[in-house]
């Protein structure tokens, strides 16, 4: 049986690229989505057309109940998760600090931070040798915004990704002895729809040349890094924050 590779928020963008690449490398992929059912099913169809294995699972992993239900459904349909990529997340809107409110913070931190805690909890229950598992890998999706502050009026987003960095380091110390490797990726300017609030493609084209490598990155480049962190090729990489940012 192929090892089960779960990607949260996998219906589009970086998550979809990771899911597709995982399937191409022989994993059985669990494609999690919240509201984008059509995009998730289209991704599954693409994977199957390439003779890969995938299933789509609807769940709101920003809630404890949603994360628990997701893993239970994956258990029943595909088996134990061996790799978790905590990719689900949101920008949370362009909100100047003068306008920040509880709703904005709640939305951003539940989607970006709470989801990672809840899904890691469920993954550790299945991967940990202490719980009868055989080990595994967790890759958290942070952002270069965690260290440079991100786009204007997105302090809530940058702060939530800073929390992911800290969570990654703490979790790595907690579960490394249980056979679970934990790392994070910090993408920089990546050419995906996530920048739509700031002008989309126009922003990417404007900022791209200011990156030391002279261009924006691609979702595929982030996916390749994620698959490396999930693989035995990175067997001694643990508690690392890996920038995929072209030097920015």
Backbone phi, psi, residue 44, to 5°: -60, -45
Say how far apart CA 217 and CA 168 lie, in whole Å: 23
* Residues labelled catalytic: 157
Q: What is the dihedral of CA 141, 138, 25, 194, to 10 degrees?
A: -10
- Give the number of C-alpha atoms closer than 13 A to the C-alpha of residue 155, restricted to the C-beta side: 8
From residue 16, give the alpha-carbon distance in Å to each of 49, 100, 115: 15, 31, 18
Nearest to 84, CA basis, from 133, 121, 120: 120
Say how far apart CA 232 and CA 119 lie, in whole Å: 22
Contact 46, 10 (CB under 8 A): no
Rg of the Cα trace of the chain? 17
Name the DSSP letter for residue 217.
B
In angstroms, how far apart are the furthest CA atoms of the chain?
53
Say how far apart CA 126 and CA 190 lie, in whole Å: 32
């Amino acid at each position: 049986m192929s090892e089960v590779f779960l990607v949260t928020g996998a219906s589009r963008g970086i998550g979809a690229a990771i899911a597709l690449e995982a399937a191409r490398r022989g994993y059985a992929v669990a494609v999690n989505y919240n509201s984008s059912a059509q995009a998730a099913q289209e991704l599954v169809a693409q994977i199957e057309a390439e003779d890969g294995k995938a299933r789509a699972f609807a769940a709101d992993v920003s809630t404890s109940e949603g994360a628990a239900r997701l893993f239970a459904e994956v258990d029943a349909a595909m088996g134990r998760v061996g790799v978790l990529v905590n990719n689900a997340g949101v920008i949370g809107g362009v909100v100047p600090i003068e306008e920040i409110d509880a709703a904005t913070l709640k939305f951003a931190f539940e989607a970006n931070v709470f989801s990672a805690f809840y899904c890691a909890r469920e993954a550790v229950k299945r991967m940990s040798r202490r719980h009868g598992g055989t080990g595994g890998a967790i890759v958290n999706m942070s952002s270069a915004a965690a260290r440079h502050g991100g786009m204007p009026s997105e302090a809530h987003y940058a702060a939530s990704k800073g929390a992911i960095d800290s969570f990654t380091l703490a979790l790595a110390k907690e579960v490394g002895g249980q056979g679970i490797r934990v790392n994070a990726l910090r993408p920089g300017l990546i050419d995906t729809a996530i920048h739509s609030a700031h002008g989309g493609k126009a922003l990417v084209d404007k900022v791209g040349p200011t990156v030391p490598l002279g261009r924006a990155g691609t979702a595929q480049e982030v996916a390749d890094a994620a698959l490396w962190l999930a693989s035995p090729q990175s067997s001694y990489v643990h508690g690392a924050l890996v920038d995929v940012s072209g030097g920015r």
